[in-house]
Amino acid sequence: MFTGIVTDIGTITELEQQGDLRARIKTAYNTPGIDIGASIASDGVCLTVIALGEDWYDVQISAETVSKTNLDRWTVGKRVNLERALKVGDELGGHIVSGHVDGVAEVVAVLDEGDSTRVTLRAPKDLARFIAPKGSVALNGTSLTVNDVDGCDFGINFIPHTKEVTTWGDVGIGDRVNLEIDTLARYVARLAEMS
């Protein structure tokens, strides 16, 4: 479980296809405090730590995960949003996030509004029904509030702080973004289907 509050920006330093994709991520986390087998959300994808070094950790990524996320576009040097798993007693500043990406949204517009940036994304049609104005979504692991919805398109506003402490300061039209819909929205929709 995660909160969608990004706590580090990592950098992909190595990628190797070994049956599964293996990635090395450089981090500012205190790696001696990370256990092998720990879960770290990397651009919103819950990945298992399989090796550790002084300032890096390795993860192994299945073909299934690569096919359902934007990890197929990871390259050496890419910056990624990181969050360690939630611990009992941690502040829940975002919303409950599982790190199980539902699909990939595409950035279709970027517009600066004062110091903030409004980004419009297009969700896959089968996921768009779960996105509501003032509801929550996780995009590349960041807990965000939806401003508006128009069909499959939805808008998010990024304040300067968010752009500084996440990779959202680098956003561009055409970017593919990991989308995790709000768990509560999924269950409400499922209950409505059963009524």
3-class secondary structure for 89-149?
CCCCCCCCECCCCCEEEEEEEEEEECCEEEEEEECCHHHHCCCCCCCEEEECCEEEEEEEE
Quick one: what percent of the chain has pLDDT higher than 90? 83
- Sign, CA dihedral 136-175-171-52, equals positive
What pLDDT sits at residue 192?
77
Token pair of 174, please? 């055409």
Asked: is 8-84 a CATH 1.50.10.10 domain? The reply is no
Q: Which of 186, 172, 187, 184 is nearest to 140 (CA)?
A: 172
Separation between Cα atoms, residue 50 and residue 47, nearest integer Å = 9
pLDDT digits (tens, 9 = 90+) for 53-108: 999 999 999 999 999 999 999 999 999 999 999 877 677 777 888 899 999 999 99
Mean pLDDT taken over the chain:
93
Reply yes or no on whether the pLDDT at 166 is more than 80.
yes
Asked: is 103-194 a CATH 2.40.160.10 domain? The reply is no
pLDDT digits (tens, 9 = 90+) for 14-40: 999 988 999 999 999 999 999 999 999
State the span(s) of the chain assigned CATH 2.40.30.20.
8-84, 103-194
Token pair of 91, please? 């502040």
Token pair of 104, please? 């990939």
Token pair of 142, please? 């960041």
